[in-house]
Amino acid sequence: MKWWEQWAFNALHGVVAVTGIGYFYMKHLVTAVDPFAVINHPWQPAMLSVHVLAAPLFIAFFGMLFRSHTLKKLTSPNAGNRRSGWMSLLSFSAMALSGYLLQVASSPGLLTVMVWAHVATSVIFVAGYSLHLFIGWRLGRASSGSTTTVPSQAGLSA
């Protein structure tokens, strides 16, 4: 996987997670001062807009990482970080599907189910992917011997 793919995916992950948490907080946990208000917080529409606009880019980068990282790791005999990877993969799939279904749900019951499915799978994904990054970082440090390399010794031929 290329460094910019991982960087962009992690940046989009941050944007989508922060805007999703912010929107959830504003929509469900903030009480509007005006009893006739349609929104609970002035930033609520902006949070939803950024979340909905960033999510397809996030999904596209997930597809790129799936091709360049996940498929290679699934066929590798080394299973160092596979559990958290599977947790991330499955919860991401359910999160993305429920997010898309939220956009087309028309009955109040189905909408409520999709909201809570999206929230639950999003929490699992954020926790699982964070764990996946942390374990990957720890495995990377352990395999390198926790030594720092001087740039002239880093093998700049790559």
pLDDT of 145: 66
- Whole-angstrom Cα distance, residue 52 to residue 55? 5
Q: Torsions phi, psi of 118, nearest 5?
A: -65, -45
Query: What does the radius of gyration of the chain's CA atoms come to, in whole angstroms?
Result: 19
pLDDT of 157: 38
What is the four-CA torsion angle of 80, 84, 90, 93, rounded to 10 degrees?
-100
C-beta separation of 87 from 132 below 8 A: yes
pLDDT of 106: 92
C-beta separation of 135 from 81 below 8 A: yes
Whole-prediction pTM: 0.81
pLDDT along the chain (158 residues), means of 10: 87 96 95 90 96 96 88 78 87 96 94 96 95 85 62 40
pLDDT of 146: 55
pLDDT of 49: 97
pLDDT of 74: 79
